[in-house]
Amino acid sequence: MPTILRTIPFDADLLPLVYDFDCAETESPAFWEEEINEWIRQDPTEGDGALFWLDQGKGTQVWLYADGQDAIVGYGALCPSRWPNPEVVVAVPKLKKIPITLIPAVGIDRRFQRGPVGAERAERYSTKIMNHLVFEARKHADRQGWLGLYVHPRNEKAIRLYRRMQFRDFSQKYPHAKAGVEYSSMILRLADYLQVKG
């Protein structure tokens, strides 16, 4: 049976819907899980979360994803960024950066992870959310046809998902002061993306 997720553009009026958003698999969340929880729940006056990014007027888009019972399954976001050109960065490491689309944050509430129960890969919530982000990223022709993201190097579950979604490792790094590590980057050429099948 096809999995249907409704996409809801996020704004401040919807903040109460994500007050209890929690992607942590255990009672003691990993650093990256708490970071994803806070990013969507944060009041824009308190820090660098989704609403803060939306208020900057720099092209950030954020969506909530709801199931058939209107429960918030997860969220995803896109924004413009600039990375070294993936076509030639290995040969010319100091090349001028080009515009790409970045996924600044994406998360699935713990109640819906690996769901729906019994769904094939193509029908999982994680696949549906990532497919939607790819679909939206393709609308930005001015961003050179690339979709990138950063991931904590120990977040193995997310890295497996991104690889399944055809992202590959990339050379760009993000030194995360709070995490105390460099986040790794992954990138997808949008023209090459084949929608994940069962």
Q: What is the pLDDT of residues 11-26, one digit of tens each?
A: 999 999 999 999 998 8
pLDDT of residue 85: 83
CA distance 138 to 78: 11
Spatial contact of 134 and 189, defined as CB atoms under 8 Å apart:
no
Kindly report, residue by residue over 139-196, the tens digit of the pLDDT.
998 888 999 999 999 999 999 999 999 999 998 889 988 889 999 999 999 999 986 6
Q: Whole-prediction pTM value?
A: 0.93
Kindly report, residue by residue over 71-92, the tens digit of the pLDDT.
999 999 999 999 988 887 655 5
Query: In this structure, what is the dihedral angle of CA atoms 109, 113, 117, 118, given to the nearest 10 degrees?
Result: 150
Grade residue 197 by pLDDT with cuts at 50, 70 and 90: low
| Residue position matching structure tokens 């208020």 | 55
CA distance 155 to 28: 15
Mode of pairing for the β-strands spanning 72-84 and 106-108: antiparallel
Average of pLDDT values for 109-135?
95
Residue 138: is it exposed, middle or buried by C-beta count within 10 angstroms (0-12/13-18/19+)?
A: middle
Grade residue 93 by pLDDT with cuts at 50, 70 and 90: low
CA distance 198 to 60: 31
- Domains of the chain (ranges; CATH) run 6-192 (3.40.630.30)
% of the chain with per-residue pLDDT over 70: 94
Assess whether pLDDT exceeds 90 at residue 40: yes
Q: How far apart are the first and last CA of the chain?
A: 12
